[in-house]
Amino acid sequence: MFQLTPHTRIRRSPYFDATVAAGVAGFTTYNYMLLPSGYGDPEGEYWRLRNGVSMWDVAAQRQVEMRGPDAGRLARILAPRDLSRCRAGQGKYVALCNHAGTIINDPIALKLDDDRYWLSIAASNILFWARAIAAERGLDVEVTEPDVSPLAVQGPKAAEVIAAMFGDWTRELKHFHFRRADLGGIAMILARSGWSKQGGFEIYLMDGARGAQLWNMVAEAGRPWGIAAGAPNAVERIESGLLSWGGDTDDATNPFEVRLGQFVDLDFAGADETVGIDALRRIRRHGPARHQLGVILDGDAPAPPHPVWYDIEAGGRKVGDMTCGVWSYRLSSNIGFALIARQIAPGARVEVVRDGRRIGATLTELPFS
Amino acid sequence: MFQLTPHTRIRRSPYFDATVAAGVAGFTTYNYMLLPSGYGDPEGEYWRLRNGVSMWDVAAQRQVEMRGPDAGRLARILAPRDLSRCRAGQGKYVALCNHAGTIINDPIALKLDDDRYWLSIAASNILFWARAIAAERGLDVEVTEPDVSPLAVQGPKAAEVIAAMFGDWTRELKHFHFRRADLGGIAMILARSGWSKQGGFEIYLMDGARGAQLWNMVAEAGRPWGIAAGAPNAVERIESGLLSWGGDTDDATNPFEVRLGQFVDLDFAGADETVGIDALRRIRRHGPARHQLGVILDGDAPAPPHPVWYDIEAGGRKVGDMTCGVWSYRLSSNIGFALIARQIAPGARVEVVRDGRRIGATLTELPFS
């Protein structure tokens, strides 16, 4: 852990004061915003997410709004996925790529209307990217970062909390679908979404001045189910096989290498003008050079934090990288992801090189079972 | 100060271990890399920079390399500044703008050769931006982030240290000029440059495996002049009027608002294909809506850190923002920058609203005298 020096360049979330009041213990930075990383009880926060319900300030998951007659066309140009049957109120997970087919972000694309889309982004500057493409292609669309700040409610009890707040209709909301759902005079959108596999919702606050009020409403509604403040959980997301763009990817990673091929379409109406489509078609034809597997380290003591990529070796030579790692409370092992030569298969034995030491490890399919 | 949780998404510098050994006390994040922010003695570090010599890990100041037949053309397309007489070995400060004339980064453009340029960037993703423009315009140029990590040597004694290391020719190097200058078998480029007004150099290490070695060479060479580890210094840069892109700018700031008009050219051969040139011409014609001034707060006790923009009011209504603030050791006042309506002139009295309190303040020209 290091001290993070405040700077006006690194923005605060509308929920910042509430998270401080809730005892936030650490932050990361994400889209040049402070993103809470925990509240001082890592294991308790993990089990609460697995068994109960947790609330997360994920305002750093910014929205890139595309609005205007060419909004849908810009979405199609940016995302190699067929969005033609996507209805207003529906979201889809998309792998944005550059012209070389390298993944540059993995947002949820939310269709608000025929002329209005949001990209709810991971940590890279898609605002600049989308503006560059839109302007260079002469599209009639405005690209902005609106005042929209998600608050996630995650865990098996999340549906109870959300139903108590918004009503029983929310139980029928399908994954990645969303609906405008103002409450207490606060403008917001409710989506079934979130960066865990424990089920849950994201409340997209549309008025940054009302952060504390919304936070308190959720805390109050969740009290019967023992809700408490948490944060995107590294242990759960690694156990569940969720990608962290920028953490698990490098400047040459394509979607097929990191299990996102299922979210990539290569032939749909208009695909020929999609950025990177030719490169992606070529990669799919030849197959990617690497793939993403799970790593289970030998040993049964929790390893220290995993702040950099570790080399993975087999037969004395480097075959890939271990891109993240945590102590799994559920599996009682140190686990993580490998981005590794495609020839190395699940089940293979490898060595992970950490601080000059070699640690035996076994590769496995993702997600961890 | 907050705890920063390690994540593989936030990279370490080649000098990281050396900065830890030197007692680094805090970090910020910059281009998704850890950037040391101090070593525990803010006032000592300030006076060392003003009177002696300081060494800074500024590897987070990444390079965007443009290489190929169209490298010069891409530089001209990205930067609204006449680079036609820029020679190999020369750098220029440029205000990169988007199509609306909003400043998106303020790098030094270094011309290494006719077909090779670096943009030595502030904290925004110009790698993606430059690739988008290059690909959309069909240019024959490769855009990459090379293994290049600047180490800054700053302060009035910096020239002595650099001459002791590289030779007396370095004393004649002009501002923003640079030269290949390998030492101890380490590939590097030496530039007279740096984010202070105290004079100094940046050593662009071109081999990330040699960070500790270079760090130790500089520490050793600087010993007679009392060199020690420091970091980009908020107090000195504000006293000196240096812009912090992203801290002192927002998503509508143009170069003319923040005193960079002198670095913007609007009519040069090829300017018509430069991104944002029409918008910049329009803004210069009408004049910008805001300008940047210094703020001197009333009172003589150091204020707490300045983590967010504060409103500036005059006559009871908001007229601008105070975008940064520090206690000036030299002026014995709390000072900072205002981004403020152009009608408000230096000398005006205003009120700064901080945590609900109103603090009287006087506006002044920049830099502070």
Predicted pLDDT of residue A369: 87
The answer to whether residue B267 scores a pLDDT higher than 80 is: yes
A 46-105 residues inside an 8 A Cβ radius of B: 98-99, 104
User: Which of the residues A5, A12, A78, A326 would you substitute to probe the B interface, choosing the one with the greatest number of B C-beta atoms within 10 Å?
Assistant: A5
Residue B246: list chain A partners with CB under 8 A: 9, 32
Tens of pLDDT along B223-261?
A: 999 999 999 999 999 999 999 999 999 999 999 999 999
pLDDT category at B1 given cuts 50, 70, 90 is: low
In angstroms, what separates the C-alpha of B14 from chain A's closest C-alpha? 12
Cβ–Cβ contact A362 with B under 8 A = no
Q: What is the dihedral of CA B157, B160, B165, B167, to 10 degrees?
A: 150
B 6-45 residues inside an 8 A Cβ radius of A: 6-12, 24-29, 32, 34, 37-38
The chain-wide mean pLDDT, for chain B, equals 97
CB B323 within 8 A of CB B242: no
DSSP A101: S
Tens of pLDDT along B65-103?
A: 999 999 999 999 999 999 999 999 999 999 999 999 999
Q: Bridge-partner residues for B251, per DSSP? A: none
Mean pLDDT of B265-279: 97
Mean pLDDT of B181-193: 96
Tens of pLDDT along B56-75?
A: 999 999 999 999 999 999 99
CB A193 within 8 A of CB A175: yes
Sign of CA dihedral B154, B159, B162, B166: positive
Between chains, do B244 and A3 touch, taking CB under 8 Å as contact?
no
Q: Kindly identify which residue of chain B lies nearest to residue A309, measuring between CA atoms.
A: B8
Angle between helix axes A71-78 and A126-136 (nearest 10 degrees) is: 110
Residue B144: list chain A partners with CB under 8 A: 251
Predicted pLDDT of residue A308: 97
Between chains, do B10 and A29 touch, taking CB under 8 Å as contact?
yes
Listed residue (B48, B47, B60) closest to B228, CA to CA: B48
The one-letter amino acid at B299: G
Q: Kindly identify which residue of chain B lies nearest to residue A273, measuring between CA atoms.
A: B136
Q: What is the ipTM of this complex?
A: 0.97
How far is it, in rounded angstroms, from Cα B325 to Cα B304?
9
User: Which of the residues B5, B105, B339 would you substitute to probe the A interface, choosing the one with the greatest number of A C-beta atoms within 10 Å?
Assistant: B5
Between chains, do A4 and B8 touch, taking CB under 8 Å as contact?
no
How far is it, in rounded angstroms, from Cα A337 to Cα A201?
26
How far is it, in rounded angstroms, from Cα A107 to Cα A118?
9
Cβ–Cβ contact B208 with A under 8 A = no
Omega of the bond leading into A288 within 30 degrees of 0 (cis): no
CB A46 within 8 A of CB A154: no
In angstroms, what separates the C-alpha of A108 from chain B's closest C-alpha? 19
Between chains, do B10 and A4 touch, taking CB under 8 Å as contact?
no
- Pull the structure tokens for residue A34: 């402070």
Predicted pLDDT of residue A114: 97
The answer to whether residue B2 scores a pLDDT higher than 90 is: no
Tens of pLDDT along B200-232?
A: 999 999 999 999 999 999 999 999 999 999 999
List per-residue pLDDT tens for chain A, 369 residues long: 689 999 999 999 999 999 999 999 999 999 999 999 999 999 999 999 999 999 999 999 999 999 999 999 999 999 999 999 999 999 999 999 999 999 999 999 999 999 999 999 999 999 999 999 999 999 999 999 999 999 999 999 999 999 999 999 999 999 999 999 999 999 999 999 999 999 999 999 999 999 999 999 999 999 999 999 999 999 999 999 999 999 999 999 999 999 999 999 999 999 999 999 999 999 999 999 999 999 999 999 999 999 999 999 999 999 999 999 999 999 999 999 999 999 999 999 999 999 899 999 999 999 998
Q: Kindly identify which residue of chain B lies nearest to residue A26, measuring between CA atoms.
A: B3
